[in-house]
Structure 1
């Protein structure tokens, strides 16, 4: 029964998934409706409503109705868009014709005739829009009817009241019938053999002997293959910290070795049973087939548990579970699986072979009880980790709260106890529904978790290939960031997909939910405003794609093919800033256009922003305007040495809002662009990088001025960093108190080397003055102790 429910649920979800993919494809590739007639469609929908309200509609017919409704809804929505567009165009023409006639004047006959034609067309489209809206409303009504019908059938199926276990006579009779059923199963091989003729018995014995020999050979081969796989592809204990990809790869090989090979042997046995004519349709054959099928389920589950939990190799498990819980959890799961598989085998056998309701009744109660007990046992052993409290802790009241896993375990235990209690009171179908759906939900959650981890590993494997760095020159840090964003995006996708699968498992009409979600995504009206979530999403995606292309263009200007153009750094920076600014504006306009926004609304938004700028955004706007002015007039450029508001530094960046200076101590100064435009700026490298350095020197009054002049000018002329033109010059500044002050003026080619050249010239001047005996005077101070000064005054007075 459990396998049947699982298979039915899987098929149902596959169908729902196909419907969902179809809906997405219709949303993306929806074409204009061809010959869609809303009036005729309304009549067909009325007929559907009448049939659904009748009590003789089957579940399959309701499903067919739902498939038809999906197509009709898509056509209706496409037709509504087309009719709305046509009506808007006709309305514009009507307004244009009306504006051609001044107030109080009589309209020309031709204009009146055209107005009547367009107004007639407008009325037709309004009628079609009304009929189309009626179609959509009726489709919603039919979906609601199908949903109610499904819910009613589900409730009627699971809330069937049967005899309670507290009625001992009927329950005892059921147990006696079950005992007879077991006896019938045990003697079924002998009954089958007795019904055969002597010739058939001989053929059967020969076939069974051949089957036994083939199974023995297969088992020996399976043991050899299993040992080979475990030795070469199993756990590599030399790896101390394996990655998740290595863990999963080893888990797959362990699963193949411990489960897939045995499963293949059992599958071969099932195929042999299908072709063995002497056993066909006999109870013994049915017994063997069902037994082999459930044995196959258990072996696959056992292999999956051992491969996933790796109880003997804790570093290789693919589920994050504490080491002390792994053995308990795996043993509990295997015990529970064995119990559930065994009882499901007998339950399924009773449904297929026996037609006595009392046998099925007792088997269902027994199956529910064993399943619930097995789940409780597995949860308690694997998740409940609360320690026993001592008497001192109980008396002191110092009691720690249960861990989250223990709380979940208690909730599951309570849920299983309540679910099985329904069986005791006669609601066996409800109990079976709750327990089976819980088991399937756990399987779904586990599968989604493994799939999520595998997708992340696959993406990590793809982006770490050197192909991306070598071909597209992508920074490795960018690839690592993309891995983080991939996980962030993938998580909600898996959450939504998991929720949809779980809803389908528990009987929720996910196909109708997807249909309603599709209607919400394709658009809805709030007053006269049409809002489409899909269009908004596409608009946002278009905006970011355009911004990415702009960023790639800027990178190409800096380092790519466009960097080979003959532009200096300042012009290149101006182009990059302009591309960034106007590219952002273009991206915004493109996003609004793709989202279906009106540029009339954009003009209103721009007016609102202008009003806001007049109130509180004037500084931002003035900086933006100043930035554009700087980029085009270029009073300063990238790399210029400037002095702005007392800050001297090199221009490192010019953006639309501000300019960044790098000072001599490597600190950065951010200056608003409006300050540059409105204030005074000293640009030492506006036209070229030539600069003058001034070196002040003082010599004593006894020095030969002619000789000093000759030495200074010779040093300046011989220095390689000093320009020949303009030639170095010497200025006589003043007669100071203790020196003759002179100034050596030299021009250099690059202002950034002024410090280096100044140091070199001063060093040469000192060395030359020392060689020629020219003194550089310095201030001298004579300091006398106060005590000596006091004694001197006393002696003078004496």
Structure 2
């Protein structure tokens, strides 16, 4: 290592030590007991913040310097928060003690108190004043820190916008290439000088034992790396986690994911570790001059990046082995996407190496612009070629509907990258290229992690999975409890993965995760109306909050309905109530988040609520009444989804309880929409409110010649023989009456309400059959007509005789068989 490099290393180490001492000093003042020491530490933090504010006033601060200032604020903010959290409970306790002591008595009225009580009150009041003053100073400093964070974030947004939107010469402009041809000889001389100086440093500083180490490292790479690759390839991770083949002899999804992970380890981590080791050895042996170190670092990072992207794409897409592919991609699509990712990664890495070389040689601006533009255009062309070959034939056949959003986003990014480079926005093209590469890495990693989440938590940890069976054997959990835990665990892991992916996707845009929302609003202007800032960014973010909240609410509802609640022992009505309540809560939270983003505070919302109350009083009363009635239905649950209810002349099954009305499906398969207020205030018959038991009454009339006890036994046997009739309470036969035509009986039995109609019909068939087999007649009413004063055949009949005949018949009812 040269003297200059050692001096730089010592200076960097000293700066790191001083920063650590400053952080330790700022963090230690929260533990100081006396109030004066705490005030001194607050004053020290205030002076530090004043220095940061003075540094922020400079107009030449770049993003790196702003990040350093932001990092200096963090320990100050953390220390102030700790002071507030510590002093606030102390101040509350002192105030409570003062209230217990009460106010000082009025000496003019002759009321006195002991000296000890007066002294104690005075001490407590002094302590409270000191604690209150400390809290005031801490809160004021905390407010200044927050304002300084926002100011730094605003400056970073301005730098970011100015940098990526700065227009230069187009790469198709002849003037640019004229400037490049003029500057090219000087740039080549600087590059040749850098390489010669590097070679001289290696020749001067490389000792024989260092050369031996490098040769041994090369030997290990050539001999040991293939053996390591073979070990990773043969490692039996699948048997450990239950991966293998299914009943059909095909690889399970977990086995495919494990093979993909092995491929990433094989092609990414091992070569990357080798290249980083070489770079570290070059630094340790002093073989890198000052300007060559960034070049060597970019070369090392480039090789590691290309191998990592190749291994990641190979593991996830599996272009050569369709049986190991994690997702349902065609062979052509997988191969073309794999080639596109590798080519773009190679061009991206080479471009970064050229950037490092140009920075080391202080290349001319035209050469830098031309190089960046050429690589941006090459990456755009590679993306266009890969997308066309991967999705072209499938799009013609109409088989890529599921990839339409990805295709549109990729083609849009490709067009913007190429257009930006052609129109002179080289910085914007380079920035978008970096984002495309970064999003590709995140997508591949997230897909691989998602498969492991589904297989290990969703499937493997379920009651039927390998890990789930082992957990049940070790803990004794029931199958339903383990299934619930599996669904909840996979859902939580999915949510964490999505949030982490979104945060990492937004990180390269120069945004701080601690102030993410404020950074997204930075480029837009707004105006104030009544203290509320109206701007495009606020409106866009409010809509985004509401849409994301609505989508998340629907996703949680669907997840509860399809995944979690079916594994519980809750009835269908309660499951629907839980799902509906989650929907209400989610929509309320999404609405509140959107209004908060627009700047509506609680005080401003009271004005809107007052205006709404007037509207409710006039025209929205019935809607609010139905809404409140719907909440009562969900809370008290007098009517649940799936209940059989009777309302007036209508009856049917409850299908859905909505905000305003309840949907009932009648037995005629028609939908009946009933306002919720009618169900709360009206009279409703619910067959299933207490239980699902319903009573069937079947009247039976037999001939007077039948034996009543035999009929009773016959009816009871028929009921007991039916599978739907409950044994407890059992069926009952009642001898109801001596009827005009026969003996009246009633069979009363209890069945499930859903089976009442079918059971009644089947019992009638069975009773009729049994009566016929027992030769017991079922009577029916008969009429006997008697005509008197009827003349003999052939005798003329007068009109008076006819009138007498009309009034003469006598009707007498009789049972069947009477004579």
* TM-score of the superposed pair, with normalisation by structure 1: 0.52
Within-5 A mapping of 1:531-680: 616=622, 672=679
Q: Which residue of 1 aligns with 2:186?
A: 177
After the TM superposition, which residues 366-515 of structure 1 pair with which residues of structure 2 at under 5 Å, given as runs? 367-384=371-388, 405-418=410-423, 421=424, 431=426, 434-460=428-454, 461-464=456-459, 465-467=461-463, 471-474=477-480, 489=495, 493-494=499-500, 496-504=502-510, 508-513=511-516
Offset, 1:47: 3.8
Cα distance in structure 1, aligned partners of 2:635 and 2:228:
75
- Bigger drift between 217-226 and 82-91 goes to 82-91
Residue of structure 2 aligned with 1:146, choices 130, 152, 175:
152
Contact kept, 8 Å, 2:697 with 2:748, in 1: the verdict is: yes
Change (3 A) 1:34 1:231: same
State the alpha-carbon separation in 2 of the partners of residues 716 and 125 from structure 1: 91
With over 3 angstroms needed to count, the CA separation of the structure-2 counterparts of 1:629 and 1:150, relative to structure 1, is closer
Matches within 5 A, 1:753-792: 766-767=772-773
Q: Is the 8 A contact 1:690 1:748 kept in 2?
A: yes
Unaligned runs of 5+ in 2: 1-22, 113-117, 239-243, 394-406, 521-529, 532-541, 543-548, 590-601, 655-659, 721-729, 786-793, 795-819
- 8 Å CA contact 1:80, 1:129 repeated in 2: yes
Distance 1:314 1:130, change over 3 A: same
CA distance 1:244–1:110, change in 2 (3 Å): farther
Higher relative contact order (CA 8 A, sep 6+): 1
Deviations 1:238-268 (A, max 9, x none): 9998776555433333334444444454455
| Residue aligned with 2:480, SS | coil
User: Secondary structure of 1:383's match?
Assistant: helix
Deviations 1:340-362 (A, max 9, x none): 5445445535655x5xx4x4657
Distance in 2 between residues matched to 1:155 and 1:658, nearest whole Å? 51
Sort the Cα spacing of 1:373 and 1:138 in 2 relative to 1 into closer, same or farther, 3 A.
same
Q: For residues 662 and 74 of structure 2, what CA distance do their matches in structure 1 show?
A: 62
Match of 1:5 in 2: none
Within the candidate set 69, 76, 87, 1:62 is matched to: 69
After superposition, the Cα gap between the structure-2 partners of 1:242 and 1:374, relative to the gap in structure 1 and judged at 3 Å, is: farther
Distance 1:284 1:179 in 2: 16
Kindly indicate whether residue 709 of structure 2 is the aligned counterpart of residue 742 of structure 1.
no
- 1-structure distance, mates of 2:370, 2:665: 82
- C-alpha distance in 1 between matches for 2:633 and 2:151: 65
Judged with a 3 Å threshold, the aligned counterparts in structure 2 of structure 1 residues 318 and 287 are, in CA distance, closer, same or farther, namely: same
1:642 & 1:300 partners in 2: Cα distance?
Answer: 64
Distance 1:63 1:488, change over 3 A: closer
CA deviations 1:426-484 (Å, max 9, x no partner) are: xxxxx4x5455334322331233234324432332313223479624438997897699
Larger radius of gyration: 1
User: Is the Cα–Cα contact under 8 Å of residues 312 and 444 in structure 2 kept in the other structure?
Assistant: no
Residue aligned with 1:62, SS:
helix
Match of 1:796 in 2: none
Q: Does structure 1 retain, via aligned residues, the 8 Å contact 2:647–2:683? A: yes
- Decide whether aligned partners of structure 1 residues 776 and 762 sit closer, same or farther in structure 2, where only a CA change above 3 A counts: same
- TM-score relative to the length of structure 2: 0.51
Instruction: Give runs of aligned pairs for residues 247-286 of structure 1, distance below 5 A.
Output: 247-270=256-279, 273=282
For structure 1, which runs of at least 5 residues remain unmatched after alignment? 1-21, 98-106, 389-401, 423-430, 518-525, 528-532, 560-572, 652-656, 700-707, 735-740, 783-791, 793-798
The one-character-per-residue Cα deviations of 1:623-671 (angstroms, maximum 9, x if unpaired) are 999999999xxxx9xxx999996899999xxxxx999999999999999
Q: Measure, in 2, the Cα distance between the counterparts of 1:243 and 1:668.
A: 45
Matched, 1:348 2:356: yes
Partners of 2:433 and 2:297 lie apart in 1 by: 24
SS in 2 for 1:466: coil
| Secondary structure of 2:700 counterpart | strand
Pick closer, same or farther for the CA change 1:121–1:210 going to 2, 3 Å.
closer
After TM superposition, list the pairs within 5 Å mapping 1:238-253 onto structure 2.
Answer: 245-253=254-262
Alpha carbons 1:730, 1:744 under 8 Å: kept: yes
SS at match of 2:260: helix
Q: Distance in 2 between matches of 1:367 and 1:682?
A: 80
Query: Aligned pair count?
Result: 607
| Counterpart-to-counterpart distance in 2, 1:439 and 1:137 | 39
After TM superposition, give the deviation of residue 312 of structure 1 in Å.
Answer: 3.7
Once the two structures are superposed, the pairs formed by residues 39-78 of structure 1 within 5 Å of their partners are 44=47, 47-48=50-51, 51-52=54-55, 55=58, 62-63=69-70, 65-71=72-78, 74=81
